[in-house]
Amino acid sequence: MGSSEPGDPPRTGQYRPSKAPALRVDEDRYRPGGRRTSAEPLSASWKPHVEAPAEKPAEAAPQSGIAKLTKTYGWRVYALPILVVLTVLVVVNTANSPAQPIAEQGTSAPGAESAGGDTPGSGAIDGNGEQAIPENPATPVDLKVPTADLPEGIPFTQAGAGKWHVVPGTGPKVGTGKLYTYTVEVEDGIDPASYAGDDAFATAVQGTLSNPAQGWTWDGKIAFQRVDGNFPNPSFKVSLTTPETTHRPDACGFQIKFEASCYRKSLGRVLINLARWVRGAKAYGADMTGYRQYAINHEVGHALGNQHVGCPGTDQPAPVMMQQSFGVNDDYVAMLNDIPGGDKGKVAKDGRICKTNSWPNPTP
């Protein structure tokens, strides 16, 4: 097999006669797709095979809004409505439920003072002296403690304005050690005839806290000084207050039906109940001066961080931190402390009965 000349048809490797009979265009064997014989030339079909264009995929049916959200956010689409419903239920439940008090730092129960007065207060006060959260006070407990009843006596103002004014006046520093400053204040709206006026109350407070031998400054560890309204942030305020104001949940409260004074740490106030200031306590009888000195020393003792205590022994002087407004019998005081929020367990029912005493450092 030699090489082909220019113009010759390409060699196919198959014998081909030099002279082929004339072709008939109508012969079936040359019809495209017809059967070929061995004598037929090897040539390409006149109608080459062309692949059909790829069929365009059918467009997906338009998705609904929910389907689009589901594709984008997945399971969150189903969680969102549930969260919305739960939020609405919580809001409705909160709006219809009575608000609860917030316990102050250091308390063991909502509304209980860390260093309370004759009766524990309840409620919460913010730094500006306003009630922070309204609350539903507990139902008063009716106890039969004969020595805790308010004695009979002269009338007094039952309800004041709920605000206090500072009694003008200052005093010298008394004692050594840590200095505590205080103002003397009286609630607006009190008839002065029942307590002999602002100056008489201020004199009693300052005179009691300035006693160097029997008062709180006796051991040289603390000092007191009376300041006026121009002094910023006194350590505490000794405030003569009407019964209705002391009964408020944000003051002393009124869980037991006996008039009482207290120290309210969140207010920075020693609240001296006007009813007790005017009438005293049965344990003290007619000794109004002794009772008033006790009331001041007891509540200021709470401002200094002291807690309630019981009688150390029968016929001994009652500690000034004993709740003498209710009596000097441990059994009575323990009964009052057993109420919810009280100083449960602080005083034992041991039958001890003390003698009244007004001073932190009593002298014979």
Helix 65-73 / helix 76-96 crossing angle, nearest 10 deg: 90
Q: For the whole prediction, is pTM greater than 0.85?
A: no
Half-sphere exposure of 84 (CA within 13 A, CB side): 6
End-to-end CA distance of the chain: give it in Å, rounded.
152
Q: What is the pLDDT of residue 226?
A: 98
Q: What is the pLDDT of residue 260?
A: 93
Three-state SS for 213? coil
Distance between CA atoms of residues 154 and 152, nearest Å: 7
Distance between CA atoms of residues 247 and 242, nearest Å: 9
pLDDT single digits (tens) 310-319:
999 999 999 9
State the chain's mean pLDDT as an integer.
73
Residue 155 neighbours by CB distance under 10 Å: 10
pLDDT single digits (tens) 172-210:
999 999 999 999 999 999 999 999 999 999 999 999 999
Selected residue with higher pLDDT from 271 and 37: 271
Distance between CA atoms of residues 241 and 269, nearest Å: 10
Query: Has residue 28 got a pLDDT over 70?
Result: no
Distance between CA atoms of residues 337 and 332, nearest Å: 9
Q: How far is CA 291 from CA 21, 208, 217, 278, in A?
A: 152, 11, 19, 10
